[in-house]
Structure formats: C-alpha cells, structure tokens
Amino acid sequence: MSMSTRDVVASEIIHEAEIDRALEEARRPDRGRLDELLAKARDKQGLTVSEAAELMKIEEPEHLQLLFDAARDVKQAIYGNRVVLFAPLYISNECVGNCVYCSFRADNTDLKRRTLGPEEIRAETEELLRHGYKRLLLVFGDHPSNDVDHIVAAVDACYSARYGEDRIRRLNVNAAPLSESGFRKLQPSGLGTFQVFQETYHRATYERMHPTGPKADYDWRLTVWDRCLPSGIDDMGLGVLYGLYDWRWDTLALLEHADYLMRTYGVGPHTISVPRLEPALGSEFSTTSPWRVSDEEFKKLVAIIRLAVPYTGMILTTRETAQFRNEIMDLGFSQISAGSRTSPGGYTEEHPDEMDTRQFELGDHRDLDEVMLSLCENGYLPSFCTACYRSGRTGHEFMELAKPGKIQTFCLPNALLSFKEYLLDYATPETIAAGERIIARHLRQIESDAIRRQTEEKLRRTEQGERDLFI
Ligand code: SAM
C-alpha cells in the first residue's frame, strides 16, 4: 500500500506512447462494436484506454445519442438524481506560478494581489453560511504566503465560522501539491478532498504552459498522490484544464492516472474536475488557444469519463453557462458549484468579482437558491450531504461501498435530510414548494422499509428543530 515518493516515476503513471498508439489505432466503432462497448460500460466495468479512444471517434448523431444515453444510465444507477452543491472560497490570488492561461500568474502586474487573513476568511464563510452552504472548496494560489501552515490556518478559520448554529461541514482544498510532510501536517485539520489538477498530462505542452516557478516541475505535480495518500488524506481530486491540449489525449491520460491509483493503492480518485479554459485577465492564450473544446466535444468527453470511471464523482463548475449546465448535468455530474466568486473577498465586498482580482470569467451568475430551484424543477435532488466523510467512509472504504452500489443506502436518505434543512432554514417560498415535492418523490424511492422509516423519523425531527441528522 504505502510507497515512498522516491520510488515513483512519471513513466509508471502516464504512458505517452500507449496513448499515442491508442489514438492512432482506434477505429470508429460500427453499431455492433458500439453496443458491445456500451454494454460493458453499463455493467459498470469501466473502459480501457483503447476502448475510450474508440468512443472518441463516434461522429454519427444516432451513435452519439447512444453514448449519451449510456452515460445517463450509469450516472442514474450510481448517483440517482442527487447533486451535491458547494462554493469555491478563494483565499489568495498571490502566485509565484506563471501558468500562461491564468490571471493569477506572477507576470500579470494588472492583477491586484491579496491573501485573506483568518478574520476575513471567517467573514466570507459566515456570508456563505448565511445563504445555506455547508460545503466549500478553499482555493489558493501557489505562493509562500500559502504554505501548509497557512492552509491549515485557513481551514481552521473556515471551520470555526458560525451562522447561528450552522457551520461548514466539509472543506475541500485546491492548492499546489505539497510534500509528504506537508500533507501529514495538513491531515489532522479535517479537510475532505485535496484537489490538484494536472492541467495537461502532455509533458511538452505542460512545459510550455508552465514556464517558470515550482509548477514547471511536471513530475512533482504528477506524483502528488504518492505523497498525499501515505498521510491519510485519501480523497483525491483529479482534473484536466480542457483547452490546453488535445482533449482526446488528455482524457486518455487522465484515465491512465486514475487506473494507476487504483492499481497501486486500491483507491481511485474521489472526484474528477473538467474545467474548460475561460478568458482570464492578462492571458492572451486563454482566448486564442487552438485547443479550445467545443460544446459537442465537451459532452462527448464527459460521457466517456462517466463510463470509464463510473465510481468517481464528477464536478461541474460555474465556468459553464446556466443553460449548458442544465443540458449536460445528467451526462455524469454529481457535484456542482453555485453562486461562485473567483476573487478573494468576493462574497463580502462591495464590488464582487472585479475584473482586476478574479481568476477567470464565469458563465453562470445565479445565486444558490436560484440554482436549487432550477435543480428541483428539472427533477434533481440537491444535497449538502457530508455524512460519508464524517463517518470515516473515505478513500478505500468509500470505494468498497461504492462499487457494489451499497453507498446508495446512505446517500439518498442523507441527501434528503440535508436538503430538508436547507428548505427549512434558507430557501425562498418558491424553492420550498418545489423542494417539498422533490423530497416526497424521492422518499418513496428508498427501497428498504426500515431505512425509509428511519429517514421519515429524522425528517420529522429536523422539522422540529434538530439539525445535522444523518444515517
Ligand atoms: N495553486 C493551485 C495549483 O497549483 O493548482 C491552484 C491553481 S488555480 C487557483 C485552480 C485551477 O483553476 C487550476 O488548477 C486550473 O485548472 C484552473 N484555471 C486556471 N486558469 C483558468 C482559466 N483561465 N479558465 C478556467 N480555469 C482555469
């Protein structure tokens, strides 16, 4: 299980030649072959790299439809209608990196730099609590002012914030990769998922995109989980920034990375993020990249990832527009952000998301309640559930339950309980009406009579004022 960082080399994780070969040799599947591939995926057996490459070749509208239907079925079978909501909380836009696509890059002198202190973090968190959020993603630029001690202090400040009785129940972190001792220092702070996106797995492109600073080291970033897992932080968030290189290549490499983690440690990624490149202040590349991914290509890659790694949560952010988010949600996403601001201080200050402090442009500007209402109107069950993580069901243990579908036993009741709290404490009348219908409909879907009765009883206790009940 445990492996020292020194033993891991990038070529064990990403096999460039194999990816090149898979893309070169893949043939567009005929109907018979397509049915075969989709049957395997529907059976939740995942897909190999060469099988995924075949699906990337599909062009016929009818075959694309079959691909999307299969992705929807797998998403339904594993996640049902539940969608978990969170907001990013930008702690710092100070950065020594020089990522050519990002407004935070050190050479961008037009950006106003800022790192929030503990009081400011508490104020931002209280503002988010006031709207009903229970889960946040803390985002940090790569800078000495964001070293592990500062990350721990930020996590503590965030967890210590209160709005009435409410507090944040799960914090995830997106930051530069740490050393093994850094992860060991961070572990006791009680964070959930640690996110590090490789951005692009294609080494030559990676080197062009990250010319200077610590992020220029491709191998250090790629081997982050080999340092993270031994610390006991076992919810890993992987991602590709789509638009830096060929989406096909990067998707196959992402699947190789997930497969490496599963083979080596018996734990796959907890989440996969698929951000698409958005215009960023001071980054010409962010608007001129030749690799920008179209909506149609994006839908294809989301469906293929859903089928290839069925047990990994997929995250959809407010980089995408409200309309497009509604269109693609059911292709595989289980977590979405809502009401996001991408500048430090963006939730509490007069002019949120000013051009000169934010990371990139957003596509969805709706607030949390509008997103909740729209989810309900489209038949989804919004969830703030954090039960697995707080009951120790993470990493390996989570996978053991997820694979045979046992995690469903917990997910549906806990989604209902956390959503009920939101309706009682924070929702607008319109969302309450739509939300109560969603709760009634989903309560009937709990298969076990005993668990349904337990859930009904906890829903009643929630109505009477108890909070944070879960199964
Ligand atoms: N310092 C951390 C690190 O080293 O990963 C955090 C980087 S950044 C604040 C978080 C993520 O935003 C990046 O990993 C990247 O994928 C994404 N990002 C950067 N620029 C972007 C852009 N122009 N459009 C969309 N996403 C972007």
In the CATH hierarchy, which fold is given to the domain comprising 73-401? TIM Barrel (3.20.20)
Q: Token pair 């990002």 is at which residue?
A: 102
Instruction: Give the tokens for residue 343.
Output: 């500048």
> Quick one: which atom of ligand 1 is closest to the CA of 196?
5
Among protein residues, the one whose CA lies closest to atom 20 of ligand 1: 102
CA angle 353, 355, 361 (to 5 degrees): 75
In whole angstroms, what is the distance from residue 157 CA to residue 161 CA?
7
Q: How much distance in Å is there from the Cα of 280 to the middle of ligand 1?
A: 10
* Residue positions counted in the chain: 471
> Quick one: which atom of ligand 1 is closest to the CA of 279?
23
Q: Where are the chain's structural domains?
A: 73-401, 405-463
Handedness of CA 208, 211, 215, 221 (dihedral sign): positive
Q: Token pair 């930020």 is at which residue?
A: 154
Among protein residues, the one whose CA lies closest to atom 6 of ligand 1: 175
Which residues have CB under 6 Å of ligand 1?
A: 101-102, 104, 139-142, 174-176, 196-197, 199, 215, 241, 275, 277-278, 280, 286, 319, 359-360
Query: Could you tell me which of 399, 150, 147 has the C-alpha nearest to residue 261?
Result: 399
Cα–Cα distances (Å) from 377 to 181, 329, 433, in that order, read 47, 13, 10
In whole angstroms, what is the distance from residue 114 CA to residue 273 CA?
26
Q: How much distance in Å is there from the Cα of 442 to the middle of ligand 1?
A: 36
Ligand 1 binding pocket mutation candidate from 285, 321, 359, 364 (most atoms within 8 A of CB): 359
Cα–Cα distances (Å) from 69 to 64, 203, 303, in that order, read 9, 34, 9
Q: Is the pTM of this model over 0.85?
A: yes
In whole angstroms, what is the distance from residue 459 CA to residue 331 CA?
30
Residues 6+ apart with CB under 8 A from 41: 47, 70, 74, 307, 308, 310
Among protein residues, the one whose CA lies closest to atom 19 of ligand 1: 102
Per-residue pLDDT of the chain (471 residues; tens, 9 = 90+): 444 444 688 899 999 999 999 999 999 999 999 999 999 999 999 999 999 999 999 999 999 999 999 999 999 999 999 999 999 999 999 999 999 999 999 999 999 999 999 999 999 999 999 999 999 999 999 999 899 999 999 999 999 999 999 999 999 999 999 999 999 999 999 999 999 999 999 999 999 999 999 999 999 999 999 999 999 999 999 999 999 999 999 999 999 999 999 999 999 999 999 999 999 989 999 999 999 999 999 999 999 999 999 999 999 999 999 999 999 999 999 999 999 999 999 999 866 445 677 777 789 999 999 999 999 999 999 999 888 777 777 777 777 766 666 666 788 999 999 999 999 999 999 999 999 999 999 999 998 899 999 999 999 999 999 999 988
Q: How much distance in Å is there from the Cα of 102 to the middle of ligand 1?
A: 7
> Quick one: which atom of ligand 1 is closest to the CA of 93?
9
Helices and strands in the chain: count of H runs, count of E runs:
21, 9
Ligand 1 binding pocket mutation candidate from 103, 197, 343 (most atoms within 8 A of CB): 197
Q: How much distance in Å is there from the Cα of 144 to the middle of ligand 1?
A: 17
